[in-house]
Amino acid sequence: MGENKKDQLQGTLDLLVLRTLSTGGKMHGYAITERVVQISRDVLKIEAGSLYPALHRMDEAGWVKSEWDVTENKRKARFYSITAAGRKRLAAEEAHWQKVAGAVMRVLRHA
């Protein structure tokens, strides 16, 4: 993972989504985008055009699972939740991210 730019960006998106699901429980796609925007204080904006392909990809990979359900205001939506495999993946992505972020910080500070 993280071999090229595209993978790296995808890895970051996966990380954000998995992390959000790991604390938020069962969520639909819209709620995920809102939560990320809210927690990142409007810095990170996830577009639906990127989010949904990522969710479906992770669903196929078995990191998340999805089901159709109704929202509080009785609307039909697809809900996602993290799986055990997803948590493992999240741990790996988080570790990787910490390592990269730490490295970047060190470069910024000392180079």
Partner 1 sequence: MSLIGRFVNLWRRSSLEREFDDELQFHFDMRVDANQRAGIPRADAEAEARRHVARLRAREGMRDARIILWLDELARDLRHGARRFANDPGTTALAIITLSLGIGANTVIFSLLHAALFRPLPFPDPDRLVSLFDGSRIQATSGVPPTVPEWIDVRDGRHRFEGLSFYDTRDVQLTGGTEPARAFAARAEASFLSVLGARTQLGRLFVAGENDPGRDRVVVLTDGLWHRTFGADPKVIGSTIRLNGAGYNVVGVLAADFAFDYQVPEPIELFIPFTMSTTYTSRDADFTSIRRVSAIARLQPGVRIEDADHDVKAIGETIAKAHPELYRRGTDGQDIGFYMGIEPLQSALTGRGRPVLLLLFGAVTLVLMVACVNTAQFLMARAIERRPEVAIRMALGAGRARLLRQFLAEALLLGGVSAVAGVLQATWLMPAMIATLPSRMTPRSTPQLDLPVLAFTAILALIAALLFGLLPAWQFSRATALRRMEQYAIGGGRSRPRQALIAFEVGVSIVLLVVAGLLFQSISELQQSPAGYSSDDVTLLRIRASSTGAAGMTTGDLYARYLDRIAQIPGVASAAVADGPLAGAGGIEFTIPGRQNGPQQLTSYRIVSPGYFSTLQIPVLDGRVFSAEDTIGHTPVAIINEELARRYWPGESPIGRTIRTGPGPRLATMTIIGVVGNVRPVLLAASSPQLYVSSLQQSEPSIVMLVRKSPGATVSADAIKQAVWSVVPEQPLFDIRTMNDLVDRQFAEPRAVGRLLAAFATLGLAMSTMGIYMIVTYLTSRRSKEVALRRAVGAQPGDVLSLLAGQTLRWSIGGLAIGIIAAIAASRALRSTLIGVMALEPQTVIAMSAFYLIVIVVAMAVPILRAMRLDPAVVLRAE
82 to 111, contacts with partner 1 by CB under 8 A? none
Helix (H, G, I), strand (E, B) or coil at 64: strand
Max Cα-Cα span within the chain = 55
The residues that bridge with 27 in the sheet, in sequence order, are: 80
Name the strand (E) or helix (H) holding 69. Answer: strand 64-70
Q: Can residue 28 be called a binding residue for partner 1 (CB under 8 A)?
A: yes
11: its two tokens? 């890895």
Spatial distance between the Cα atoms of 34 and 89, rounded to a whole number of angstroms: 23
Q: Can residue 78 be called a binding residue for partner 1 (CB under 8 A)?
A: yes
Single residue of 29, 36, 63, 89 touching partner 1 by CB under 8 A: 29
Single residue of 1, 30, 91, 95 touching partner 1 by CB under 8 A: 30
Q: Which is nearer to partner 1, 33 or 93 (CB)?
A: 33
Query: Which listed range, 13-21, 72-80, 84-92, 99-107, lies at the site for partner 1 (CB under 8 A)?
Result: 72-80
Name the strand (E) or helix (H) holding 76. Answer: strand 76-82
**Residues found near partner 1 in the complex (CB under 8 A):** 28-30, 34, 47-54, 56-57, 59-62, 75-78
